Amino acid sequence: MAKGIEIRAAHFPGRAPIDTYGNGGFRFADMSHRGSLLCLPSGIYGWDMDETKPLTSDNFRRVLDEAAEIEVLLVGTGLQLRPLPAELKAALKARNISSDPMSTGAAVRTFNIMLAESRAVAAALIAV
């Protein structure tokens, strides 16, 4: 019996630089993804986030769960820089994660450099 299409949460089990971004998505590891991404030590995940949603600890739960392996979190906030709310900054700081909000383009470029340097970096990238 034929199976239907199985829809799974987007996940790439590894670390990879972001090759390009724009048009509502990203290209990395010879693949493309439409929507936002979390680039974490455990892999790259699709992230249900856009510029209209709040930057809350709940929306960063997966990042907080992997905190032991992350020293720096780059937050690509879309086309415009959005400051991180005090509650989110405090949750990250409590886990010894330095956070840096910036435009998504700047976050992609910085992530690629830090990844190439084998730094303990993660990125939360809102699609533009």
The per-residue pLDDT for range 70-125, each reduced to its tens digit, is: 999 999 999 999 999 999 999 999 999 999 999 999 999 999 999 999 999 999 99
Would residue 55 count as lying in a domain?
Answer: yes
- In the predicted model, is pLDDT for residue 2 greater than 60? no
Count of domains for the chain: 1
- In the predicted model, is pLDDT for residue 10 greater than 80? no
With the C-alpha atoms ordered 64, 68, 71, 76, is the resulting torsion angle positive or negative? negative
Would residue 31 count as lying in a domain?
Answer: yes
Q: SS3 for 106?
A: helix
Would residue 3 count as lying in a domain?
Answer: no
* pTM of the predicted protein model: 0.91
Would residue 6 count as lying in a domain?
Answer: no
One-letter amino acid of 49: M
Would residue 86 count as lying in a domain?
Answer: yes
Would residue 2 count as lying in a domain?
Answer: no
Strand order in the sheet with 72-76: 11-12, 43-47, 36-40, 121-125, 72-76, 98-102
What distance in Å separates the CA atoms of residue 87 and residue 16, rounded to the nearest whole number? Answer: 30
Would residue 48 count as lying in a domain?
Answer: yes
For residue 74, the domain's CATH number is 3.40.1230.10
| pLDDT at res. 7 | 47
Would residue 4 count as lying in a domain?
Answer: no
Residue ranges making up the domain that contains 49? 11-125
- pLDDT-based confidence at residue 4 (cuts at 50, 70, 90): low
